[in-house]
Structure 1
Amino acid sequence: MDSQLHIFFFPYMAPGHIIPATEMAKLFASRGCKATIISTPANAPHIHKAIESSTNLGLEIGVLPIRFPTQEVGLPEGCENANSVTGKEMEDKFFTAVTMLDQPLEQLLMEHRPNCLVADIFFPWATEVSAKFGIPRLVFHGTSFFALCAATNLFLHEPHKQISSDSEPFVIPNLPDEIKITRNQLPDYMKDESDSELSDFLKKVKESELNSYGVIVNSYYELEPAYADHYRNVLGMKAWHVGPTFLCNEEKKGNKAETGKQASISEQECLNWLDHKKPNSVIYVCFGSMANFDDAQLMEIAVGLEASGKQFIWVVKKGKHEEGVKEEWLPGGFEKRMEGRGLIVRGWAPQVLILQHQAVGGFVTHCGWNSTLEGVCAGVPMVTWPVSAEQFYNEKLVTQVLGIGVGVGAKKWARLTGDSLKREAIGKAVTLIMEGEKAEQMRCRAWALGVTASGAVKEGGSSYADLTALIEDLRLQRNGCGSK
């Protein structure tokens, strides 16, 4: 029998899922496994680019195509990524297309018979499909243990249904720490009881997770030990932490900017700009690939940054600027006044490189888990501005549990467009993490967490050991010696 394990990775079609799943595939391949990433045609080129240096080093990583049924659901040709979705109608069509991937996945599993399927939480049918072939399915959420614990306890106990006001804080039950949240900060899908289709989907998600082989988590034990223990020992979930995945691949790939899309500014241009700044003097502002802000909110951010007096790099999504069109979201003469002090990146930025530069002393973030982890590993304190998904949970982890950030004051979960905040709140939060004794204490704590992150992925570290245990489990399962 061939001793090499073959692992399939099937991420949800969004950058925040594809990037860590690709890193995870490289991680398994670096430990002697054969890794195959399932991708729709439009997303495949980014994945091929991300794995190129690893395959050049001899690691066994491949990409298998799966057709995304855009035509069948009425989506534009090539709309195969969640960050191309605008509005509720398109989002519904996109999810309908996702539910139609079960049969193509079954066909791929039948043809290739991998030893394990790591499938995204948004594919609840993957557990049943893989079970037909006796293939263990691991669930990938792409978030923290803390968020998993918070979401699970809210699902189990439903305290938000006992609250009369959307803005009234209540305690999330059964957590190691007293964490308060409001109904406004919970995802729409937890509050909308009238949507029976959504309710059925969430039930299937939970059932598929409970019936799966286990959960793989892009985190490390030292970051959230109480919540890793709570998830496994109190909530009874079989789970392995193997992250931060991007650190695992850093030395092998050499180029920290190769995952994701092509940066709209050259790495060298960015680094040259930062090289002329003092240590911890620059604030980095970025809200990920999915969050949108209207022109009025972008104007508030611009004015808030200017008023803070701090140097900054600010990443603004493409679509907010067109050739020859006046940018209404910038104050008149803003870029001229900010010359040398502020750098606006329009589109995609080499985020890891920027965060790890010694000149960067703070990070304004939407609290997506990948960005949060990258901020932690860089040892920078954060201004938290959650928008959607599980980001309000991650904010609580950063500000209340870890004590390495301050909230900007976002109060409402939003599917696509972030909560509106005024320039004064933005400027104040930026100042709080960049100046004074409290800022220095947060920076020290963040730096210490960054050091433990590096240790976790090295041989002998907690994540290295958990991955070893998982691979061994899968070997035993393949040989008929394991148990679910």
Structure 2
Amino acid sequence: MKMTKVFQAFLMLQPQLVDLIHEMQPDCIVSDVFYPWTSDVAAELRIPRLAFNGSSFFSYCAEQCIKEHKPHLEVESNNEKFKLPGLPDVIEMVRSELPSWITRHKPDGFSQLLDVIRESEKRCYGMLMNRFHELEASYEEHLNKIIGIKTWIIGPVSLLANNEIEDKESRGGNPNIQTTNLLQWLNEKEPNSVLYINFGSLIQMSRNQITEIAHAIQESSQSFIWVIKKNDEDNDDDIVNKGLQKGFEERMSRTKKGLIIKGWAPQLMILEHKVLEGF
């Protein structure tokens, strides 16, 4: 539901942005991939459009491979492995790892939007990628030469913003988060010893998923920070009711093994801390 509202908001901006672009008469349009209609505006004005893609070369190439070759339809079960043909490396997957917008029989609104996005990208002058060459050189070459889309690498863009500790603490901030206490907790840990768990702002976790993650964390004895998203109507008790066992949070806090943050977290500050081992 939240994801649908985000995309509806993108579309609601279109008339105002179209008017602004025509008024400004730019020489080029740089727009996020989720604004596919800007390709049409660029064509009207006879100027290039560059689409910004915050994902990776690898995921883009893998998605194109699956959509073109459909290797997941050649296996008989969700757990049978199939290979993604034509990629620089031998990549194997199972059907259960694919997103629902690929596997469902009838297209939904999101899959239709992605089709529109991919079609608009073909009409772009090229794409700006939030990556760097040393990380994905072979997939950068694959996207340019095999798929045939020009790309320019401009990442990682996170290095260009929020350099001050105050910015990292407060970006999109939640007044309920005491960053001083969080930093103290992090500073008490050994380097490369903490796992950061966060599935993003758009993912809706089920009660069973939260329960299973909590069991896994407890069994692993791994130090962790776990960010659990709250819906607008949720309070702390709702989070427990959604799957956290009673007493789990208190046990983790008492043993200083884990820290649970409900809602927003200063993610940039956490990820840059020396104690982080994995995300």
Supply the distance in 2 between the matched residues of 1:251 and 1:101 (Cα, whole angstroms). 30
Supply the distance in 1 between the matched residues of 2:238 and 2:68 (Cα, whole angstroms). 50
Aligned residues of 1:286 and 1:314 also touching (Cα < 8 A)? yes
SS in 2 for 1:132: helix
C-alpha distance 262-192 of structure 1, shift in aligned 2 (>3 A): same
What is the match of residue 226 of structure 1?
138
Supply the distance in 2 between the matched residues of 1:265 and 1:227 (Cα, whole angstroms). 39
The partner residue of 1:285 within 178, 197, 218 is 197
Aligned residues of 1:126 and 1:137 also touching (Cα < 8 A)? yes
Amino acid at match of 1:345: I
Superposition RMSD in Å: 2.8
Supply the distance in 1 between the matched residues of 2:218 and 2:109 (Cα, whole angstroms). 46
C-alpha distance 301-133 of structure 1, shift in aligned 2 (>3 A): same
TM-score, normalised to structure 1's length?
0.51
The partner residue of 1:142 within 48, 54, 62 is 54
What is the match of residue 336 of structure 1?
250
Runs of 4+ with deviation above 6 angstroms:
196-199
Aligned residues of 2:173 and 2:266 also touching (Cα < 8 A)? no
Supply the distance in 2 between the matched residues of 1:103 and 1:308 (Cα, whole angstroms). 52
The partner residue of 2:240 within 304, 312, 327 is 327
Structure 1 residue 302 and structure 2 residue 214: aligned? yes
Supply the distance in 1 between the matched residues of 2:149 and 2:60 (Cα, whole angstroms). 10
Supply the distance in 2 between the matched residues of 1:189 and 1:286 (Cα, whole angstroms). 22
How does 1:66-465 map onto structure 2 within 5 Å?
84-85=2-3, 91=4, 95=7, 98-99=10-11, 101-195=13-107, 201-251=113-163, 255-262=167-174, 264-319=176-231, 321-322=234-235, 327-328=240-241, 329-338=243-252, 339=254, 340-363=256-279
Structure 2 gaps of 5+ residues are: none
Supply the distance in 2 between the matched residues of 1:159 and 1:122 (Cα, whole angstroms). 27
Supply the distance in 2 between the matched residues of 1:302 and 1:98 (Cα, whole angstroms). 35
Supply the distance in 2 between the matched residues of 1:336 and 1:196 (Cα, whole angstroms). 41
- The offset of 1:263, in angstroms, is 6.6
Supply the distance in 1 between the matched residues of 2:57 and 2:227 (Cα, whole angstroms). 28
How high is the sequence identity, in percent, across the aligned residues? 39
Aligned residues of 2:230 and 2:262 also touching (Cα < 8 A)? yes
Supply the distance in 1 between the matched residues of 2:172 and 2:141 (Cα, whole angstroms). 32
For this pair of structures, how many residues does the alignment match? 275
Supply the distance in 2 between the matched residues of 1:309 and 1:198 (Cα, whole angstroms). 38
Aligned residues of 1:117 and 1:130 also touching (Cα < 8 A)? yes
CA displacement, residues 25-46 of structure 1 (integer Å, 9 cap, x when unaligned):
xxxxxxxxxxxxxxxxxxxxxx
Supply the distance in 2 between the matched residues of 1:138 and 1:326 (Cα, whole angstroms). 42
Structure 1 gaps of 5+ residues are: 1-81, 86-90, 364-484
TM-score, normalised to structure 2's length?
0.85
- The offset of 1:275, in angstroms, is 1.2
